[in-house]
Structure 1
Amino acid sequence: MNTGPQDPAGGTDDQVLTVMPRLAQLSNAISRGRLIEHAMKTARVEVDRPAFSVLVSVHMAGKPLRISEIAEQTQLVQPHVTRQVQQLERHGLVRRIGDPNDRRVSFIEPTDEGKAAADRYARTLINWFTGAIAHWSDPDRADLGRLLARFAEDITAHLATLEER
């Protein structure tokens, strides 16, 4: 039986409070832990973390992106993304492609080397997460995937309401 005041979405404050420390624990384990550094080292790329994040975003998009699109995806400001793209260009990991309809606009796409590095990075993370839940049952892994996808979509949609205000 749930106790505590009802929130506007129909849950209870206690239910939300129970989850919050776990979200912080997970966030800290992933972002402050050695996992990201390990995956970057495996990718064999000598760029900083924000630049690598840009590389992965461009690669995962599956199509060339404008700086503004990269900024939106990575939630960074455009001048910062521009600096990261320049760093990636110097390392031969991305290239600019001109827009045939507007010479002022360029698109960013990963080079073959950039794609390979992003793939090595992703494979390292996938293997690590797969190993972390290898002892889970198939239904538990399926539930995690389904609920995590739902959670991410709902959080993203709810955050959009903050931007509308």
Structure 2
Amino acid sequence: MTTGPRDPEGGTDEQVLAVMPRLAQLSNALSRGRLTEHAMKSAQVEVDRPAFSVLISVHLAGRPLRISEIAEQMQLVQPHVTRQVQLLERRGLVRRIGDPNDRRVSFIEPTDEGRAAADRYARTLIGWFTGAIAHWSGPDRADLGRLLARFADDVTAHLATLEEK
């Protein structure tokens, strides 16, 4: 029987605490591991990780984004995103599109070369993660996707409440 304080949803602090080492393990494996570098190398693009992260964010959005939208999505400050976009522009990986309704505003979208690089990166990651869970059952893979999406959304929303305080 699990003891300890109960949260509003009926779980216990111990249940949440038990997950923390696994989150740290996963975070360390992904950030210290060479997976990102391997995927970036397969993308055949010579930019640093922050710039490539901006390219991926714009690509995954599926539509041109304002720099403010990129910054909000990535939880970064606008000047940092602006610098990364300028680097990506110089490399021919993104381009600016003017807003026909407001000449002061521009949208950022990947070029064909940027889209191709982002696709190569994504295919590498997808292949790697698919291999890591290839032995899982279909329902387990579906549960992972569903719960991970829910977890990411809830953590992001809960973090936003910290910023409001």
Question: TM-score scaled to structure 1, two decimals?
Answer: 0.95
Distance 1:74 1:158 in 2: 16
Counterpart position of 1:60:
60
Partner secondary structure for residue 106 of structure 1: strand
Partner secondary structure for residue 106 of structure 2: strand
Per the TM alignment, residue 145 of structure 1 is displaced from its structure 2 partner at its CA by 1.3
- 1:40-88 deviations in whole A, cap 9, x for unaligned? 0000000000000000000111111111001011111111101000110
Counterpart position of 2:93:
93
Counterpart position of 1:134:
134
Partner secondary structure for residue 146 of structure 1: helix
Counterpart position of 2:26:
26
Per the TM alignment, residue 163 of structure 1 is displaced from its structure 2 partner at its CA by 2.4
Partner secondary structure for residue 5 of structure 2: coil
Opposite residue 123 of structure 1, the aligned amino acid is R
Distance 1:46 1:132 in 2: 27
5+ long unaligned stretches in structure 2: none
Distance 2:163 2:11 in 1: 23
Partner secondary structure for residue 118 of structure 1: helix
Distance 1:8 1:159 in 2: 18
5+ long unaligned stretches in structure 1: none
Counterpart position of 1:38:
38
Amino-acid identity (%) = 87
Distance 2:107 2:153 in 1: 27
Partner secondary structure for residue 96 of structure 2: strand
Distance 2:162 2:9 in 1: 16
Opposite residue 37 of structure 1, the aligned amino acid is E
Counterpart position of 1:147:
147
User: Are 1:117 and 2:117 counterparts?
Assistant: yes
Question: TM-score scaled to structure 2, two decimals?
Answer: 0.95
Per the TM alignment, residue 9 of structure 1 is displaced from its structure 2 partner at its CA by 4.4
Root-mean-square deviation (CA), in Å? 1.1
Runs of 4+ with >4 A deviation: none
User: Are 1:3 and 2:3 counterparts?
Assistant: yes
Query: How many residue pairs get matched?
Result: 165
Counterpart position of 2:79:
79
Partner secondary structure for residue 4 of structure 2: coil
